[in-house]
Amino acid sequence: MAVVAAHAGVSGQTVSRVVNDSPRVDPATRARVEAAMAELGYRPHRAARALRTGRSRTIGVVAETLATVGNSALLQAVAEAAEARGYALAVVTLGAAGRIGEAFDRLHDQGVDGAIVLNEASALARDADPAGLALVVVDAPADPRFAVIGTDHAAGARAATAHLLDRGAASVHHLAGPAGSFAAAERERGWREQLAARGLEAPELRRGDWSAASGHAAGRRLAADPSVVAVFAANDQMALGLLRALAEAGRRVPEDVAVLGFDDIADAAEFRPPLSTVRQDFGALGEQAVRLVVDRVEGLDDQTQDPPLLTPVLVVRASS
């Protein structure tokens, strides 16, 4: 740091302020110091800085799996938002055992400042002690021990179901996500509420595990039922499997069966036919999660209330 200071013609304290992203540095001076750092190949020593400041500038992320498209998309958004704030990530997946307490212990061992729990793992967070971690949980009921953020899944499901009914369907079947998932339960709730608002009884639902293979398995049973004329799938991957099952059964989409998914993954518009869906803003969700956990770490969050749910958007394409 002293060499950088001499090279840039500034004090060591100024270099320290630049390294720690202090606002108390003139932009021209900051640019000169950063140019000197780049020229000399200087890199701040994260471990040493953590010892000095008591913070590692590392955020932990806990996910049940990264195999689902939704989890991967949200992790990408979190990674981009963390990088923009100068934070690194430490990612822990739960695997089959699903012991979130052990995940928190591993993050403590890595010295993270706070953590974000993604989607399906949120159900386990209710039964584990975060042990002092500044914690943000995505898609979970309110809890005084941590901040909760998420998408208004029920509102998205109501909009999806209303769209399918408005296009003339006598009823709407539901291909639900796994039991125990908060997001899946909220999407199922919105589907049931919209049917009830129209005076309709909810038909028996089929359940998958978010994968296209599970959507295909459930879709074969739905395709064999002539009363099925519209299906709201709880995510786009299961909708993909459903589309295959309907095609194999000779049932046309949308002429015989209208199909609508949830998430608006990157390839949804490339399905055959292009998939109508409910778009989640993963970028905004990741930014919100990182902002909230960093604010808690840095003492900028009053922790009096959770932020409002993000509103999803209905995207109509050829499948409905």
Report residue 318 CA to chain centroid gap.
Answer: 26
The 3-state DSSP class for residue 289 equals helix
Which residues does residue 314 pair with via DSSP β-bridges, in sequence order?
A: 278
The rounded distance, in Å, linking the Cα atoms of 82 and 6 is 31
pLDDT digits (tens), the chain, 320 positions: 889 999 999 998 898 888 877 778 899 999 999 999 999 988 765 555 544 555 679 999 999 888 889 999 999 999 999 999 999 999 999 865 668 888 888 898 889 999 999 987 787 777 777 777 889 999 988 888 889 999 999 999 999 999 999 999 999 999 999 998 999 999 999 999 999 999 999 999 999 999 999 999 999 999 999 999 999 999 999 999 999 999 999 999 999 999 999 999 999 999 999 999 999 999 999 999 999 999 988 887 666 678 899 999 999 999 99
pLDDT at position 202: 98
Single-letter code of the amino acid located at 280 = Q
State residue 45's pLDDT score: 58
pLDDT score recorded for residue 224: 98
Bridge partners, residue 279, by sequence: 263, 313
Q: What secondary structure does DSSP assign to 135-199, as a single string?
A: EEEES---BTTBEEE-B-HHHHHHHHHHHHHHTT-S--EEEE--TT-HHHHHHHHHHHHHHHHTT
Decide if 142 contacts 125 (C-beta within 8 A). Answer: no
Strands 147-149 and 134-138: parallel
Within 8 A by CB and 6+ apart from 229, the residues are: 169, 170, 171, 256, 257, 258
Please tell me whether the overall predicted TM-score, pTM, comes out greater than 0.75 for this model.
yes
DSSP 8-state code for residue 45? -
Alpha carbons 279 and 315: distance in angstroms, whole number:
7
Q: Is the peptide bond before 273 cis (omega within 30 degrees of 0)?
A: yes
